[in-house]
Structure 1
Amino acid sequence: MAVVSTPPTLERALPVMDNAEVLRIRNDFPVLDQVVNGHPLVYLDSGATSQNPLSVIEAEQEFYEQRNAAVHRGAHHLAVEATEVFEDARQTVADFIGAEYAETVWTSNATEGLNLLSYAFSTAGLWAAQGRGDAGLKELALKPGDEIVVTEMEHHANLIPWQELAFRTGATLRYIPVDDAGSLRMDVAAEVIGNRTRVLAFTHASNVLGTINPVTDLVGLARRAGALVVLDACQSAPHLPLDVKALDVDFAVFSGHKMLAPTGIGVLYGKQELLDILPPFLTGGSMITTVTMERAEYLPAPQRFEAGTQRISQAVALAAAANYLTETGLARIHEWEAGLGQRMVAGLESIPGIRVLGPAAGQERIGLAAFDVDGVHAHDVGQFLDSRGIAVRVGHHCAQPLHRKLGLTATTRASAYLYNTTDDVDQFLDAVAGVRAYFRA
């Protein structure tokens, strides 16, 4: 499975991460230096929201202190500087994922990016029917008989927009099931993705199972069918070297708050030839060329999709986060986190009454583990761990269909990042080992 391309030579020359380096990294994250319920904080909820290093916090603060102004508007000094750092940030993030500048669209989060695509695809049908826009819109317009394919492990953000697109266009939504081990049924995928498939949308890495999906194989099936590929990279962009060109996906989305950046900023990547013909999602100022009282003409991407006042400071901070991850080394981060994930799974599997979701110990996964404790509700598990200073996620993790498939309503999830040590994992495992006895399960 070709997940990513080979990282730069400089990164290959860097030493393997160890606990000593991670402890130095932790010094960059002030929020981690606190006591919760009488215990030093062990933060294992980065799959939901990561923490911010000082360089990211300072980048956003410096923008407000020195350059705060609206972008693409006005010719005064602050407006020019604000526009420069805003667009420099776009180039930095484009480089981070192997994209081109004009293929990188700012959104509020990945959810907005997926909704943007869903609505743009349905509007493409309206435009094409009225002879508006590029002739290529006919290829993007869905109709009854067409099929949209997702997977059974998708986050709701990569499921519901496609359900609604199917409703608006009359297309049919189909899905690739998962097996009991948490892997996609690729034998079924080859049957589900067929000549009626117009869109294939799937997660790079599952936020529940930790599974890393076979992107190359799935893209190959989509290309054979002539379908567009949409990649949810929320759990991969922060943790793996990501090259959207090498993966040959048509679109990809990810959120800043999962990769050391602030909330309120995300990215939609799209091949430029596709972005330039898609109808816009939000309309208004700063995304037009000409406006009359009857109609408007729109700029090419990326401004075509960026109506109104933009997320300027957040974009600057996201670029700082991308630089922090690049300097640390994404391949090194992935190797370290994968080791923590294996440590978690092996430890959880050794505790009686614990069911771990996803690949078993020794099989490839990202650095997270979701699990069920026999006889104890996930929310009680989470509160028990919090009483010991350990932060985890509880619930269905915005993946109800997957939990339903696995016979569960909720699970507990621990997710590691570059600032977690093996001691964090061991403290977590020690606490989990005491859950059932505490609740007399």
Structure 2
Amino acid sequence: MRVHPAGAIDGAVQTCRVDLREALPLWEPTPGWLNTASYGLPPRPTVEAVRRALGEWQRGDVPWSVWDVSTGRARAEFARLVGVETDDVAIGAAVSQLLAPVAASLPAGARVVVPEIEFTSNLFPWLVRDLDVRTVPLDKVADAVDGRTAVVAFSIVQSATGEMSPVEDILAAARANGALVVADASQAAGWLPLDATRFDVLACAAYKWLMAPRGAAFCYVAPAVLDRIRPVAAGWYAGDEPGGEPHAYYGPPLRLAPTARRFDLSPAWFSYVGAAPALELLNAVGVERIHAHDVALADRFLRGLGLPPAGSAIVSVDLPGAAERLAAAGVRAAVRDGRLRAAFHLYTTDADVDLALNALT
């Protein structure tokens, strides 16, 4: 991946670093986009890659295996982003889909502790099973974990409010009581530095802060818990095929991959065609620099409203009529739980913040 003088980045996979200011021309947002917590905006290499693949599909120019190369690229880049081995990452289409096998592997009546504010993708997979699901306030999650707890499941950053969960406290309580730790990183990965090896399972939808098309999602499964989870959704893409064959399509015996690939779901090709260059660009810029940029803008927004900084790229404020005033000014944000939710990412600028503040103040 190279930055050219005009600001364009090609699609070659490289390990070079890209300055955030040089990368900014790769996005073309209409001013006022403060809604990455709903969906992220794709960089030009992602848009061009998807358009190219759609043309190939329309004409029948290439076999599907050409597009599937992007699945491997995206898997490797996500692993790099969260500090794990590539073989420990499974791919799918949605967080709930990737967490369902974890829930299905628990015995009936097993206790699962979840924050009461949790997004349903990390709640419904537990609720639809015959499990003892306990929902508690976010700041009480660690206290609710005891020797009867099989799993504690939570989002690292909460979707509704942008609050960062008390990860250290939860991890300490879970480890002390032998509970599995299942984290949803959909609102964290891409702007918050993460070490996924600290969790047993970490799932992430890629269409938000990873700026990929919807239909790509990733799941880290720690090797220590691999055999405790039954791959109940296994299909041809989860198979292990020795002898150089990428996949065998027909007949027994069961032959699952020995790694987290056994949890793979057949990929939505074009979603991964778009995900690969987006993730490569994120890693080239560096999540530490993105974190500093995003949080600085979010805190600037809060200070402009006379509120204290929160240290998160997602902010939630109670301002009656704020959504209507922002919409009238062309600022796109969201309302969650009756509060304005604004999100700031690497393509957000000071001008976007000023546009929102002018509308609100």
What is the aligned counterpart of 2:38 among 30, 34, 48?
48
Alpha-carbon distance in 2 for matches of 1:192, 1:423:
44
CA contact (8 A) 2:98 2:263 kept: no
Q: Tell me which amino acid in the other structure corresponds to 2:99.
A: L
What is the aligned counterpart of 1:261 among 205, 212, 225?
212
Report 1:7-406 matches (<5 A): 21=21, 25-30=23-28, 32=29, 34=30, 41-64=31-54, 78=63, 81-119=66-104, 121=105, 141-144=106-109, 146-165=110-129, 168=130, 171-178=131-138, 184-185=139-140, 189-245=141-197, 248-258=198-208, 259-288=210-239, 297-300=254-257, 301-308=259-266, 310-348=267-305, 350=306, 361-362=308-309, 364-374=310-320, 376=321, 381-396=322-337
Alpha-carbon distance in 1 for matches of 2:67, 2:351:
43
Instruction: Give 1:223 shift.
Output: 0.7
Range with bigger deviation, 109-118 or 325-334: 109-118
CA contact (8 A) 1:211 1:365 kept: no
Alpha-carbon distance in 2 for matches of 1:195, 1:69:
59
CA contact (8 A) 1:298 1:304 kept: no
Q: Relative to 1, partners in 2 of residues 1:87 and 1:26: Cα closer, same or farther, differing over 3 Å? A: closer
Instruction: Give 1:83 shift.
Output: 4.3
Alpha-carbon distance in 2 for matches of 1:276, 1:298:
14
Once the two structures are superposed, residues 128-168 of structure 1 have per-residue CA deviations (whole angstroms, 9 ceiling, x without a partner) of xxxxxxxxxxxxx3233x32111133112222222223xx2
Q: Tell me which amino acid in the other structure corresponds to 2:315.
A: A
Alpha-carbon distance in 2 for matches of 1:212, 1:361:
16
Once the two structures are superposed, residues 355-396 of structure 1 have per-residue CA deviations (whole angstroms, 9 ceiling, x without a partner) of xxxxx614x43122222234x4xxxx4343222111011243
Task: Report the equivalent of 1:427.
Answer: 355
Instruction: Give 1:298 shift.
Output: 4.5
**Per the alignment, in what secondary structure is the counterpart of residue 128 of structure 2?**
helix
Q: Relative to 1, partners in 2 of residues 1:422 and 1:303: Cα closer, same or farther, differing over 3 Å? A: same
Q: Relative to 1, partners in 2 of residues 1:29 and 1:116: Cα closer, same or farther, differing over 3 Å? A: farther
Alpha-carbon distance in 2 for matches of 1:291, 1:340:
50
Alpha-carbon distance in 1 for matches of 2:71, 2:206:
15
Alpha-carbon distance in 2 for matches of 1:59, 1:273:
36
**Per the alignment, in what secondary structure is the counterpart of residue 45 of structure 1?**
coil
CA contact (8 A) 1:198 1:226 kept: yes
Alpha-carbon distance in 2 for matches of 1:312, 1:68:
14
TM-score of the two chains, using structure 2 as the length reference: 0.82
Largest Rg, 1 or 2: 1
Instruction: Give 1:96 shift.
Output: 2.0
Alpha-carbon distance in 2 for matches of 1:226, 1:68:
52
Alpha-carbon distance in 2 for matches of 1:306, 1:190:
31
**Per the alignment, in what secondary structure is the counterpart of residue 357 of structure 2?**
helix
**Once the two structures are aligned, what percentage of the paired residues are identical?**
25
CA contact (8 A) 1:97 1:244 kept: yes
**Per the alignment, in what secondary structure is the counterpart of residue 59 of structure 1?**
helix
Q: Tell me which amino acid in the other structure corresponds to 1:327.
A: A
Alpha-carbon distance in 2 for matches of 1:211, 1:333:
18
Range with bigger deviation, 210-219 or 57-66: 57-66
Q: Relative to 1, partners in 2 of residues 1:197 and 1:59: Cα closer, same or farther, differing over 3 Å? A: same
Alpha-carbon distance in 1 for matches of 2:99, 2:148:
21
**Per the alignment, in what secondary structure is the counterpart of residue 346 of structure 1?**
helix
Q: Tell me which amino acid in the other structure corresponds to 2:207.
A: H
Q: Relative to 1, partners in 2 of residues 1:83 and 1:55: Cα closer, same or farther, differing over 3 Å? A: closer
**Per the alignment, in what secondary structure is the counterpart of residue 390 of structure 1?**
coil
CA contact (8 A) 2:67 2:273 kept: no
Q: Tell me which amino acid in the other structure corresponds to 2:84.
A: A
CA contact (8 A) 1:44 1:390 kept: yes
* Superposition RMSD in Å: 3.1
Q: What are structure 1's unaligned runs of at least 5 residues? A: 1-8, 35-40, 71-76, 122-140, 179-183, 351-359, 397-409, 434-441
Task: Report the equivalent of 2:8.
Answer: none
Alpha-carbon distance in 1 for matches of 2:59, 2:43:
24
Instruction: Give 1:261 shift.
Output: 0.9
**Per the alignment, in what secondary structure is the counterpart of residue 191 of structure 2?**
coil
Alpha-carbon distance in 2 for matches of 1:284, 1:361:
50
Q: What are structure 2's unaligned runs of at least 5 residues? A: 1-14, 241-247
Q: Relative to 1, partners in 2 of residues 1:344 and 1:372: Cα closer, same or farther, differing over 3 Å? A: same
Instruction: Give 1:304 shift.
Output: 2.7
**Per the alignment, in what secondary structure is the counterpart of residue 203 of structure 2?**
strand
Q: Relative to 1, partners in 2 of residues 1:25 and 1:432: Cα closer, same or farther, differing over 3 Å? A: farther
Q: Relative to 1, partners in 2 of residues 1:69 and 1:103: Cα closer, same or farther, differing over 3 Å? A: farther
